[in-house]
């Protein structure tokens, strides 16, 4: 599906989130706190926005993994437009079974990717396996606000306005309807926190952003339970 919406993905991201995604991404990068020389994995790297932001703040070595070839081709184009000191290597693959050795990465991030995964639990197990001891995982994901009125407005926006905007911008209406559904049906933060803890990822913080329309999880690789 993402191969089919690559051309409109970045513009629609900005438009449909009222550019709020920029601030959320910065919050995630601050929480990641990557240092020069560290090895970083950007899971579901997509069109590379998180990798580009990370590269602006550290001289780290970034690997991006994603299922979609077209999304990554767009990431390569964007990356080659600037002069950078960080490195960015791309791998086409599945987050639930990653082709990396145990303990490969200092830090790992995934922005707006987990809710699209067929098996989030398998990804979290892989995240723990491929992080170094004490390594950090930052997950940024859209969520449904808890406050009833805000929740209703948000759901109306997702199911009625978002697919319409997508169509008006030349995007695939059905794909954006699926994306809206994937937000509504994704498990709530408490459930995701449990999944992390069960897999040996110690939750350091779990924070609702912008009235709960987005959620930022920070976890570290702890001892196996």
43/94 Cα distance (integer angstroms): 9
In order, the DSSP letters of 89-144 are: EEEE--TTS-SS-TT-EEEEEEES-GGG-S-HHHHHHHHHHHEEEEEEEEEEEE--
Tokens describing residue 124: 């979290």
- Range 93-152, binding ligand SAM (CB under 6 A): 94-96, 111-113, 116-117
Candidates 65-73, 156-164, 188-196, 208-216: pick the segment binding ligand SAM (CB under 6 A).
Answer: 65-73
Distance CA(48)–CA(74), nearest Å, equals 8
Interhelix angle 173-185/2-16, rounded to 10 degrees, is 70
Applying CB under 6 A, what is the total number of residues that bind ligand SAM? Answer: 20
CB nearer ligand SAM, residue 41 or residue 65: 65
SS3 40: strand
Binding to ligand SAM in span 78-97, by CB under 6 A: 94-96
Taking the C-alpha atoms of residue 28 and residue 110, their distance in angstroms, rounded to an integer, is: 9
Facing residues of 206 across strands? 217
Q: Which is nearer to ligand SAM, 58 or 65 (CB)?
A: 65
The least distance separating ligand SAM from the CB of residue 67, rounded to whole angstroms, comes to 4
Q: Residue 46 or 200: which CB sits closer to ligand SAM?
A: 46
95 versus 219: smaller Cβ distance to ligand SAM: 95
Which residues lie closer than 8 Å to 56 by C-beta, 6 or more apart?
Answer: none
Q: Verify binding: residue 67, ligand SAM, rule CB under 6 A.
A: yes
Residue 7 or 147 having the CB closest to ligand SAM: 7
Q: Which is nearer to ligand SAM, 117 or 158 (CB)?
A: 117
66 near ligand SAM (CB under 6 A): yes
Q: Looking at 49, 106, 141, 172, which residue binds ligand SAM (CB under 6 A)?
A: 49
Strand partners, 111: 140
Binding residues (CB under 6 A) for ligand SAM: these are 2, 44-47, 49-50, 65-68, 71, 94-96, 111-113, 116-117
């Amino acid at each position: 599906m993402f191969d089919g919406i690559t051309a409109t993905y970045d513009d629609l991201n900005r438009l449909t989130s009222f550019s709020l995604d920029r601030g959320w991404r910065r919050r995630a990068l601050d929480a990641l706190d990557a240092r020069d020389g560290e090895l970083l994995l950007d899971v579901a790297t997509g069109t590379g926005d998180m990798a580009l932001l990370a590269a602006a703040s550290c001289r780290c070595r970034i690997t991006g993994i994603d299922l979609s070839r077209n999304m990554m081709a767009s990431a390569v184009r964007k990356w080659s437009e600037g002069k950078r000191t960080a490195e960015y290597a791309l791998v086409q693959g599945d987050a639930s079974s990653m082709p990396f050795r145990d303990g490969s990465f200092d830090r790992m991030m995934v922005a707006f990717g987990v809710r699209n995964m067929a098996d989030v639990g398998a990804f979290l197990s892989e995240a723990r396996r491929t992080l170094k001891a004490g390594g950090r995982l930052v997950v940024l994901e859209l969520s449904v606000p808890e406050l009833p009125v805000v929740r209703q407005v948000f759901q109306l926006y997702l199911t009625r306005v978002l697919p319409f905007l997508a169509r008006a911008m030349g995007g695939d209406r059905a794909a954006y309807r699926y994306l809206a559904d994937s937000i509504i049906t994704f498990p709530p933060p408490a459930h995701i926190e449990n999944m992390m803890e069960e897999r040996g990822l110690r939750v350091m913080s779990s924070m609702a952003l912008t009235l709960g329309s987005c959620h930022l999880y920070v976890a570290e690789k702890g001892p196996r339970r």
